[in-house]
Amino acid sequence: MKRIVLPTDFSENAFNAIKYALQLFKDEECTFYLLNTYSPAAYQSEYILFSPGQIGLGDVYQVNSTTRLEKLKLRLENDFKNPKHHFILRSAFSQLVDEIVQTVAKENADLVIMGTHGATGAQEIFMGTNTVHLIKSANFPVIAVPARYDYVPPKEILFPTDYEVSYCEDQLKALLQLQQLHQSHVEVVHISRGYELAENQLKNKQKLEVIMKNTSHLFHNLPDQGVIEGINNFQLNRKLNLLVMIQNKHTFLERLFIEPVIKKIGLHVSIPFMVLQG
């Protein structure tokens, strides 16, 4: 049985990501952890000195959070009516990213699926602060679902790589499971820097070919261009349904998050984005 954490701030974007998760795994036995955190900014200084109960806040906010989670669970059960899916509610006075990490560890969860940003997220940035922080600190797969994305089965998956990662099957487990579940085709794209592959890159490519030998896939080599430009250009002429990248300190995904330019231009993809940990 899969264990999947679904954070929510009760925004439409969060609900849309939850719907995506339920449709993505509609044929799988799953336990979904509906997670909401509350940390009112006006009371954070008081919380440092006292417990929420001592200042009369814990009960009010916890009851509100729990009540809304129960309503959400009922809505999902009524809308989807999937006997394979089970819901567990989690409400916590905590920071969202910290609570997600703790929940994944405690429940041995396989995956986190969340919206790219919540009710107050800046629309010009593809991923909100919480999503970026989670991806950078997580040691588990994360799928970020863009706002207003209408579910489409991930039949066509884009997997950009610079072949700087020494791949192993366990690292790509979440991708391989999705590929098998949906009988997907994987487009492996290398964005060239204008040089021939180094010896270590060739070895890593060979490892990747072995790991993907039983999947439907195709390798591509794009001419020298920027990573974002390459990704966006590739998806212009193809109906891709999922972007998958590996987060590793040596890969271009890590450089994208480090470089300030990413906060200005965003990673403008209109499809869900899965990040695997290197």
| Spatial separation of the C-alpha atoms in residues 264 and 124, rounded to whole Å | 8
Looking at the chain, the whole-number percentage of residues with pLDDT higher than 70 is 80
Q: Looking at the predicted structure, is the pLDDT value of residue 257 above 60? A: no
Q: What's residue 233's pLDDT? A: 79
Using one digit for the tens of pLDDT, what is the confidence trace for 42-52? 454 444 444 55
Q: What's residue 123's pLDDT? A: 42
Q: What's residue 268's pLDDT? A: 56
Name the residue with higher pLDDT: 170 or 222. Answer: 170
Which has the closest alpha carbon to 132: 103, 96, 165? 96
Rounded average pLDDT over 102-109? 97
Q: What's residue 57's pLDDT? A: 54
HSE of 165, CA atoms in CB hemisphere, 13 A: 23
Q: What's residue 235's pLDDT? A: 78
Place of tokens 């489409």: 152
Q: Looking at the predicted structure, is the pLDDT value of residue 25 above 90? A: yes
Looking at the chain, the whole-number percentage of residues with pLDDT higher than 90 is 54
| Spatial separation of the C-alpha atoms in residues 180 and 84, rounded to whole Å | 19
User: How confident is residue 194, by pLDDT bands cut at 50, 70 and 90?
Assistant: low
Domains, the chain, in order of start with CATH, read: 2-145 (3.40.50.620), 156-277 (3.40.50.620)
Q: What's residue 51's pLDDT? A: 52
Q: Where are the alpha helices (DSSP H) in the chain?
A: 12-24, 44-49, 58-80, 96-107, 129-137, 173-182, 199-211, 227-236, 252-258, 261-265
Q: Looking at the predicted structure, is the pLDDT value of residue 109 above 90? A: yes
DSSP state of 119: T
Q: Looking at the predicted structure, is the pLDDT value of residue 141 above 70? A: yes
| 50-54, 55-59, 248-252, 271-275: the lowest-pLDDT one | 50-54
User: How confident is residue 271, by pLDDT bands cut at 50, 70 and 90?
Assistant: confident
Length of the chain: 278
| Spatial separation of the C-alpha atoms in residues 136 and 128, rounded to whole Å | 13
Q: What's residue 125's pLDDT? A: 41
Q: What's residue 269's pLDDT? A: 61
| Spatial separation of the C-alpha atoms in residues 93 and 116, rounded to whole Å | 22
Concatenated DSSP letters of 12-73: HHHHHHHHHHHHHTTTS-EEEEEEEE---GGGHHHHHHS-TTTTT-HHHHHHHHHHHHHHHH
Q: Looking at the predicted structure, is the pLDDT value of residue 274 above 50? A: yes
- CB within 8 A of 213, min separation 6: which ones? none
Q: What's residue 222's pLDDT? A: 83
Using one digit for the tens of pLDDT, what is the confidence trace for 113-131? 999 864 444 443 445 678 8
Q: Looking at the predicted structure, is the pLDDT value of residue 216 above 80? A: yes
